[in-house]
Amino acid sequence: MKQLLLVFLGGGVGSILRHIISRTFNNYFQHFYLGTFVVNIIGCLIIGLVLGLSLKNNLLTQNQTLLLTTGFCGGFTTFSSFALENHSLLKAGDILHFSLYTISSIAVGILAVVIGFWLSKLIH
């Protein structure tokens, strides 16, 4: 029951922050969903950092890792919004922005996870 509560709390905080960031940044570019992009990249960085710290000398407990990865990152990042936004771009026939958004989200997301793991090695 404690683990479910941790996921619930982390997910709630992540969802609130995602909403705030998305509302703030999605209005900057007409054909690029910057808010969703930003939260997904930050979430990738956080999950890489948290899992790296968790694996490194058991720096985080299993409950802390669960709260931050499944809970916070699960609520903060959003694949469903990413898919919907891509659908909107495809429906509008905007192949260029669809391609840029999809490729950059995946490539930069993976890079952010790698950077997160790298950063976790620097923390003593």
pTM: 0.85
Quote the CA–CA distance of 55 and 33 in Å, as a whole number: 33
Query: How far is it, in rounded angstroms, from Cα 22 to Cα 11?
Result: 16
Tell me the pLDDT band of 26, cut-offs 50, 70 and 90.
Answer: confident
Bind-site residues = 74, 77
What is the mean predicted confidence (pLDDT) over 87-102?
96
**Span 15-43, average pLDDT:** 91
Task: Tell me the pLDDT of the chain averaged across its residues.
Answer: 93
List, for residues 32-71, the tens digit of each pLDDT value. Answer: 899 999 999 999 999 999 999 888 878 889 999 999 999 9
How is the chain split into domains, by residue range?
A: 34-59+73-124
Residue whose C-alpha is closest to residue 38's, from 19, 57, 64: 19
**Token pair for residue 27?**
């209005």
Q: Is the pLDDT of residue 30 over 80?
A: no
Q: What is the pLDDT of residues 101-117, one digit of tens each?
A: 999 999 999 999 999 99
Which residues fall in the annotated binding site for Na(+)? 74, 77
